[in-house]
Structure 1
Amino acid sequence: MRDRVYRFLIVLFLGMAVVFCILAYHEHKPFLDAKISHEAIKKTAVVQESNEDASDPMNRRIDFELLKEINPDIIGWLYIPQIGVDEPILHGRTDTEYLNKGFDGKRSVLGSVFTFAHANENLSDPHICLFGHNMMSGQIFGKLDELTVDEDKVQSIYIYTPERIKGLTIVSVYSCHKKDAVFQDDWKPDQEDVQTFTLATCTGYSNIIRINNALESIPKRISKAEQTLQTLEMQLHDAKLEVQKEFPKETELKEKNERLFELNALLNIDESNHMIIEEEQIEEEQEITEQTTQTTRKEYVPKFGTR
């Protein structure tokens, strides 16, 4: 008997393991497919110049003609070797079009690196914002928080467009809200003659703000609750005093209730007498009708006899 139970449990656990593996595969498959497609586009579009230092990002060339054939919305390329970002830059018709679309315009869980819809397609504006998902797998901008300010002003981020290659130096890393000034059209960098790129991704910062706001509001909420409790206690005290007070028109109310009771009793008696009278009248009418019927019958009874 025990052997059967053990076998059943083993089969059950194996079945559950298979189900979990299948679910995990289906959950991970979109990320795997997106990674494969991104790796494929990098191998196809990124070309290393011959007879040049392969380790120098400035010697890379991006085949934008090929990329435009895949998707005309590809306007640039972002390369951050420190965190493994090597992605095309998309420019949609809306600010969020490529939030859940891949570089090929198809739906993707990874989304793409994209900029504002009103940004210049040549990425020549004084201030350019680039956005991407903060993926737990580290893809797209999943490792953006690993970047730090380089005190030596070494170029560590590279922007490629059909016209030029630009090396960027990280000057600040900080958390902010989506409505902060840096994302507004009228924001200007400290050095107006220097083009600035802002790389942004979602973080737990908004949750932290909500938690902090909730913690800060606790004393106010406690104070408000105490005031409400104090008010309710005063109202309860006043209500108890009112209950103990004698009703000023209690005698008058008692007299009117007694009078109302008498009137109701009289009305009930009248209704009973009225019903009795009606019943007596109905009985009398029935007797009269019966007598009339009997009399009529007697008048028409024929008499038989001899002559």
Structure 2
Amino acid sequence: MFIQLRPHRHNQDLLTEKILDVIRSTNVLRSAQAKYRFLDEFIYHIMRNKMKMGASQTSFAVKTHLVALTANEAGRIARSFPMVMMANATAAAAVDEFIMTYKALGELDREYAWFRPTLTAIATELMSAVAWGVKFRAYLGASVSAADALSDAYMINEFFMLGDTSIAKGLLAMVGANVAWQAIIVYVQTQGLKKKKWRTMLFEMLTVVTFVKPGIDAHRVASGAEQAPGAAFGPLAEMIYTKGGELAFEAIPGLVLQLVALLNTEEKSRIAIASILVSTASTALTATTMFWDWDTDPGNRKESADW
């Protein structure tokens, strides 16, 4: 469906025509369209995937049940999908939030077994194709982590230059501890790989020492990468362990140490303040994305419910 329809997203009439052709040629879609006349309108806006500010606010007002849902309301719901995808790391999590937000979609999901997997497949393609989705989140995470590492390196040098070796060594130890933790994660993750074990380990170690691993991990999770054969854990678990170590070993203690140093200094350096702000942003981004991604993952919620 995605391959047939997505190329026509900029031509409204042609896209509408192609959607109707797909619905007519697919049994399950044809029967659903006969019962719910809004299906073509819903698919149309999902495929266009136009980011429109304010779309979520108007769509949240749609509380209509499935039997009474109009084409206009279905279109308003579908137009909120890009914002939902932007807030989630995986297509499955985005679709899960999307369906749980609207009564009509929840009822449609319960009625048709194909509805959720179809939306998830489309969302996976969209998240890997649009510039503001996977790429934005991955590059933002990598940029903030790299900026934090550079600011820490600069401040370590500054503290050494000022003769405050205890603070400098403390920050250096924290950065080293974080790098060591990520290296351990890489080692454990790659030990059981069936193919290209050493090549993969070398590449992963390179991402660790260049401080871009958080961004790489975010990209893998957001693009729906599968767990490699023989790997110790999946992309989401790897990202959580990496971010957890970054918070525990570097981000939080490093931020506290820099704050203590700043408070004990009479002249407040603008560069030191900027470094603290960067560290604060990195800590906030790491913490929120880590807990959000883990908590909103449908698989984790199902496992918790089963337990």
Task: Report the TM-score, using the length of structure 1 for normalisation.
Answer: 0.25
User: Which structure carries more strand by proportion?
Assistant: 1
User: Which structure carries more helix by proportion?
Assistant: 2
When Rg is computed on C-alpha atoms for both structures, the one with the higher figure is: 1
Task: Report the TM-score, using the length of structure 2 for normalisation.
Answer: 0.25
Higher relative contact order (CA 8 A, sep 6+): 2
